[in-house]
Amino acid sequence: MAYRYRCGECSFKTSWGTESQGEQAQITHYTDRHPGLCPGGTVEANTKNPEGSIGCLGVLAVLFLLFVLAASCNR
């Protein structure tokens, strides 16, 4: 799943990436732009296209087609 962090002090937002990449980018932003403040804000999760959901559906589709093919060959 991809994550994006938004600054609690300004309009900065990180690019979509892993949770650790976003957290590090937010810490770097706070260090540069808001020294002395603890990093805050919000975290967004990309739920429209979670990583791996299409792959799982693809595997299920292939297994289904193999099952249909095997069933039709046994007649």
Q: What is the pLDDT of residues 12-66, one digit of tens each?
A: 999 998 899 999 999 999 999 999 999 989 999 987 755 545 566 677 788 888 8
Domains of the chain: which residue ranges?
A: 3-73
pLDDT of residue 41: 92
Per residue, the 3-state secondary structure of 4-29, as one string, reads EEEECCCCCECCCECHHHHHHHHHHH
Specify the length of the chain in residues: 75
pLDDT at 44: 92
| Model pLDDT, residue 55 | 61
- Identify the pLDDT of residue 50: 56
Residue 9 pLDDT exceeds 80: yes
